Amino acid sequence: MNHKATTHFGYQQVPTEEKARRVRGVFDSVATRYDLMNDLMSLGIHRLWKRQTLELSGVRRGQRVLDLASGTGDLAARFVGPVGPDGEVVVSDINAAMLGQGRERLVDRGLVGNVRYVQADAQSLPFPDNHFDCVSIGFGLRNVTDKQQALESMLRVLKPGGRLLILEFSTPGNKPFKAMYDLYSFQLLPRIGRLVTNDEASYRYLAESIRMHPDQVSLKRMMEQAGFERCEYFNLTGGIVAIHRGYKL
Q: For CA atoms 70, 234, 246, 228, give the dihedral sign.
A: negative
Q: Is the pLDDT assigned to residue 242 strictly greater than 50? A: yes
Give the separation between CA 174 and CA 167, rounded to whole angstroms.
Answer: 20
Degrees (nearest 5) of the Cα angle 131, 138, 222? 75
Mind spelling out the 3-state secondary structure of 68-117? ECCCCCHHHHHHHHHHCCCCEEEEEECCHHHHHHHHHHHHHCCCCCCEEE
Give the separation between CA 217 and CA 49, rounded to whole angstroms.
Answer: 19
Give the separation between CA 236 and CA 51, rounded to whole angstroms.
Answer: 12
Calculate mean pLDDT across residues 207-236. 95
| Nearest residue to 200 via CA among 212, 213, 186 | 186
Query: Which is higher by pLDDT, 54 or 113?
Result: 54
Calculate mean pLDDT across residues 221-242. 97
Instruction: Provide the whole-model pTM.
Output: 0.90
Tens digits of residue pLDDT in 130-145: 999 999 999 999 999 9
Share above pLDDT 90 across residues of the chain, in percent, rounded to a whole number: 65
Tens digits of residue pLDDT in 147-201: 999 999 999 999 999 999 999 999 998 999 999 988 888 888 888 878 877 778 8
Determine the residue type at 73.
G
Residue 207: pLDDT band (50, 70, 90) is confident
For the chain, what is the mean pLDDT? 90
| Nearest residue to 235 via CA among 150, 177, 153 | 177
Q: Is the pLDDT assigned to residue 115 strictly greater than 50? A: yes
The answer for residues whose C-beta is within 8 angstroms of residue 73's C-beta and 6 or more apart is 67, 91, 101, 102, 103, 105, 106, 111
What pLDDT score was predicted for residue 42?
A: 80
Tens digits of residue pLDDT in 43-79: 789 999 999 999 999 999 999 999 999 988 999 999 9
Q: Is the pLDDT assigned to residue 245 strictly greater than 60? A: yes
Separation in Å, CA 192 to CA 150, 168, 201, 208, 237: 32, 21, 11, 16, 21
Domain ranges of the chain: 6-173+206-247
What pLDDT score was predicted for residue 1?
A: 45
What pLDDT score was predicted for residue 102?
A: 92
Give the separation between CA 223 and CA 246, rounded to whole angstroms.
Answer: 7
What pLDDT score was predicted for residue 40?
A: 74
Calculate mean pLDDT across residues 225-235. 98
Q: Which contiguous run of DSSP H or E holds residue 177?
A: helix 175-183
What pLDDT score was predicted for residue 2?
A: 47
| Helix, strand, or coil (residue 121) | coil
Residue range 6-173+206-247, CATH number: 3.40.50.150
Give the separation between CA 223 and CA 97, rounded to whole angstroms.
Answer: 29
Separation in Å, CA 119 to CA 106, 125, 166, 167, 235: 16, 10, 19, 20, 30
Give the separation between CA 121 and CA 130, rounded to whole angstroms.
Answer: 18
What pLDDT score was predicted for residue 4?
A: 64
